[in-house]
Amino acid sequence: MFDEINTPVDQDGYRHRWIDGSPIDIPVGKAVCVGRNYADHAKELGNEVPDSPILFMKPATAMASLHEPIELPKGQGEVHHEVEMVVLIGKRIRRETDLETIRFSIAAYGVGLDLTLRDVQNTLKEKGQPWERAKAFDGAAPISGFVDARGISVRQNLDVTLELNDAVKQHGHTGQMLFPTFELLAQISQTFTLEPGDVVFTGTPAGVGPLNSGDRFTARLGNIIQVFGHIA
């Protein structure tokens, strides 16, 4: 189902993998992220609910394995968790509007954390500056292993959940997304070509908050992915 690809890119040990740990023969590309795709999350941060997707990017160097201990940046204020469904692109999507074509261009689904330096982000917002320092730092996009898209229907409202130290902190489902998966990819592709190996972070439900050294977490996507991890 994948386009023909050259040798996968390995960014300091990260590469896309299936949930069983075996490597996916696809390169590591960029991460396109979606802000405020859940209305409750927009409201909890005092932001307006958008009428079109808010998009930003993280480089390949931001990607890390969610199955490994997460290293938090030091001395930059609070680091917040934002759990999200992650889409792995398998075929090029460029200025596409046909949702069936988009559906068959998705290689796999995973779960990830959009790590955010919240204090840094708030300062950047106040100055009207871009968010990259708060969102795109090394290790800011830890991702689980992936599950083949052919066995999953995202129309069935997959739960997206994060438990922190045995307490549920975030819980929503994909049916709450303001911009559903296929429509979201169509809109993204009008501006950014999505290449095989790119990932899309589809937005986070309400309940974001700080992570601390020693915290334990469980990230879940429906009943198909469950990752137990910890903060170094």
Supply the CATH number for residue 148's domain. 3.90.850.10
4 in a domain, yes or no?
A: no
Check residue 48 and report its DSSP letter. Answer: P
76 in a domain, yes or no?
A: yes
21 in a domain, yes or no?
A: no
Beta pairing partners, 171: 161
36 in a domain, yes or no?
A: yes
10 in a domain, yes or no?
A: no
Q: Residue 5 has what pLDDT?
A: 37
Q: Which pair of tokens denotes residue 43?
A: 């409201």
Q: Which residues, other chains included, contact 153 with Cβ-Cβ below 8 Å and sequence gap of 6+?
A: none
* 208 three-state secondary structure: coil
Q: Which residues, other chains included, contact 209 with Cβ-Cβ below 8 Å and sequence gap of 6+?
A: 80, 81, 164, 169
24 in a domain, yes or no?
A: no
44 in a domain, yes or no?
A: yes
**pTM more than 0.75:** yes
In DSSP notation, 55-91 reads: EEEE-GGGEEETTSPBPPPSSS--EEE-EEEEEEE-S
Q: Which residue shows structure tokens 């730092």?
A: 137
- The number of domains in the chain is 1
Q: Residue 4 has what pLDDT?
A: 39
Q: Residue 145 has what pLDDT?
A: 97
Contact criterion met (CB below 8 Å) for 211 and 219? no
Beta pairing partners, 86: 110, 201
| pLDDT string in tens for the chain (232-residue length) | 434 333 344 445 899 999 999 999 999 999 999 988 997 775 666 667 778 899 999 999 999 999 999 999 999 999 999 999 999 999 999 999 999 999 999 999 999 999 999 999 999 999 999 999 999 999 999 999 999 999 888 777 899 999 999 999 999 999 999 999 999 999 999 999 999 999 999 999 999 999 999 999 999 999 999 999 999 9
Domain span at 206? 31-230
Q: Residue 12 has what pLDDT?
A: 56
Q: HSE of 23 in the Cβ direction (CA atoms, 13 Å)?
A: 11
Q: HSE of 181 in the Cβ direction (CA atoms, 13 Å)?
A: 29
| Beta strands in the chain, from DSSP E residues, in sequence order | 31-35, 54-58, 63-65, 79-81, 83-89, 106-113, 116-117, 141-143, 147-148, 159-164, 167-173, 199-201, 209-211, 216-221, 225-230
Q: Which pair of tokens denotes residue 147?
A: 């599950």
